[in-house]
Amino acid sequence: MDTRLKPGDQFYRPRRIKRYHLKRALGVPGLFSIGYGDVGSSIYYGLGVVAIVALGATPISLAAAGVIYVFNALTYAEGAAMLPEGGGSASYARHGFNDLVGFFSGWALMLSYIITMAISAYTIPPYLAYFWPVLSEPATGTLVSMGIIVFLMGINILGIRESSGMNIFFIAIDIATQIALVALGAILILRPNPGVLFQNMFGEGNWPPTGSLIFGIALAALCFTGVESVSQHGEETRHPEKSMPRAYILMIVVVLVLFAGISIVALSAITPQLLGDPVNGWARDPIAGIAANLPSETLRSILAPMVAILAASILLIATNAGLLGISRLSFNLSAHRLLPEPLGRIHPRFRTPYVGIMLFCVITVLMLIPGFFSVNFFSDLGALYVFGSLLCFAMAHAAIIGLRLRKPELPRPFKLRPNLLFAGKELPVTAILGLLSTFAIWLVVLVTQPFSRWAGILWMVGGFIIYYFYRRREHLSLTHVEKQRIYPVKY
């Protein structure tokens, strides 16, 4: 065979692509602090959001959502160990299905991050109102919340990074404080008057209608965030095949125990009507309500300011974590050509994705505007978060099942069990249950909540329009998948 070049032949030299990798510096404590920074902060507002609709059934709603949280965490444990890259559910969906499904999952996740930022910033002023009562006013509090978002936008553009050690320090104090509140509530409230919990849960006017109970379970998903935050740091984790599943399992144990204790003590110390009142009650600062209603003036004087400072600090960390998450996610999606390149553009001096940071901070500030005048804004914000988070959780479960069917040969350092055999493939039972439960509750929110339904649909349709025209401009099909292989990670 003649291999000599002939006139008109062209010789191509493929361009060598230099790939940059993030430093693998995170272990189980660092991953746990990142995940619990989201989960632990959510109890500071999620408990009140749930109580608005679930009333005395708040602990039941949290328990049901906790079971779903276990399904979610286990699914992400398999996915993060198998695909230790940024992107979370968007990455799993892209590998398990195609680019279009990956985009929808990532876009829904972006909505969750934005609402995390908004609701965390919105609940900082009520806790600080212990020192400055004017912050309890809706208009003043909303204005301060907007200022917090703008402040964090500037900080993140400049590139001042969070400290993992500082996060671990705050998380340790937070866990210790919550344990102290649970212990004091059990000793000072439940032990001398064990019937108070039963009365506040099942007494006349305290148990919600069935529809409210179901919606309360949906809202309780707000309290069990954090699984995505951990998965976003797969490329920065030492031995992710071991560290990430261990971090998820540790989160499951700590979260379920603490949240059960906090919800029981809260409903023992406060009536469900006061716990769920966003205007004159404790809906926006429920943990402060526990400290303020302990039957000891000495303990109240010690714990009330401590809870105010700690809650504000944890919520500020959570707001910043949401911004960090969305900036990493937008960078990941643009790198895989699921979003326009400018959203992942890096500042030439500060080396941060400044376009994405500014854009999503502006969207967050706009979402806070109803806080000036709407009394239902707090629960509406929670329902909108549930719309985005449950949708991306359902897609994550579906993607893990899809990867079991389409790519059974992939190394799975952490493999879910038990499994069902289908067409010779092993399908994880917990992922199937997680898919059915998250999608069912998402449908409940879609049908029963007009604000989250139309705002969520508008967000998803707007994202698809951006995706459609961007892919057409790049001459890519909507479902095109880059030719790529998944290699086992070497350490």
- The per-residue pLDDT for range 85-94, each reduced to its tens digit, is 767 888 899 9
Q: What is the pLDDT of residue 20?
A: 43
* Residue 4, pLDDT above cutoff 60: no
Q: What is the pLDDT of residues 53-76, one digit of tens each?
A: 899 999 999 998 888 888 998 998
Contact predicate 233/86, CB 8 Å: yes
Calpha distance 48→44 (Å, rounded): 8
Contact predicate 229/34, CB 8 Å: yes
Q: What is the pLDDT of residue 480?
A: 75
Partners of 425 in the beta sheet?
422
Q: What is the pLDDT of residue 303?
A: 86
Residue 364 pLDDT level (bands cut at 50, 70, 90) = very high
SS3 state at 461: helix
Following CA atoms 277, 279, 281, 283 in sequence, which dihedral angle do they give, to the nearest 10 degrees?
A: 60
What lies within 8 Å, CB to CB, of 292 at 6+ separation is: 282, 300, 304
Q: What is the pLDDT of residue 435?
A: 95
Percentage of the chain beyond pLDDT 90 is 25
User: What does the longest C-alpha to C-alpha distance in the chain come to?
Assistant: 97
Higher pLDDT, 151 or 6: 151
- State mean pLDDT over 3-28: 49
Name the CATH superfamily housing domain 28-393+436-473. Answer: Amino acid/polyamine transporter I (1.20.1740.10)
Q: What is the pLDDT of residue 236?
A: 65
How many CA atoms lie less than 13 Å away from 313 in the CB half-sphere? Answer: 15
Residue-wise over 5-31: b if at least 16 C-beta within 10 A, else e?
A: eeeeeeeeeeeeeeeeeeebebbbbbb
Instruction: Indicate the range of 21-30, 200-209, 321-330 predicted with least confidence.
Output: 21-30
Calpha distance 274→29 (Å, rounded): 37
Query: Which tokens belong to 240?
Result: 């992710």
- State mean pLDDT over 339-349: 77
Return the axis-axis angle of helices 99-122 and 138-158, rounded to nearest 10°: 130
Residue type, 143: L
The answer, yes or no, to whether the previous bond of 418 is cis (omega within 30 of 0) is yes
* Residue 115, pLDDT above cutoff 80: yes
Q: Determine phi and psi for 233, rounding to 5 degrees.
A: -110, 25
Contact predicate 63/400, CB 8 Å: no
Calpha distance 104→160 (Å, rounded): 30
Contact predicate 377/371, CB 8 Å: yes
- Radius of gyration, CA atoms only, the chain: 23
Residue 439 pLDDT level (bands cut at 50, 70, 90) = very high
SS3 state at 420: strand
* Residue 327, pLDDT above cutoff 90: no
Partners of 422 in the beta sheet?
425
Partners of 419 in the beta sheet?
428
* Residue 151, pLDDT above cutoff 60: yes
Calpha distance 361→180 (Å, rounded): 36
Burial (Cβ within 10 Å: 0-12, 13-18, ≥19) of residue 199: middle
Higher pLDDT, 184 or 343: 184
Mean pLDDT of the chain: 83
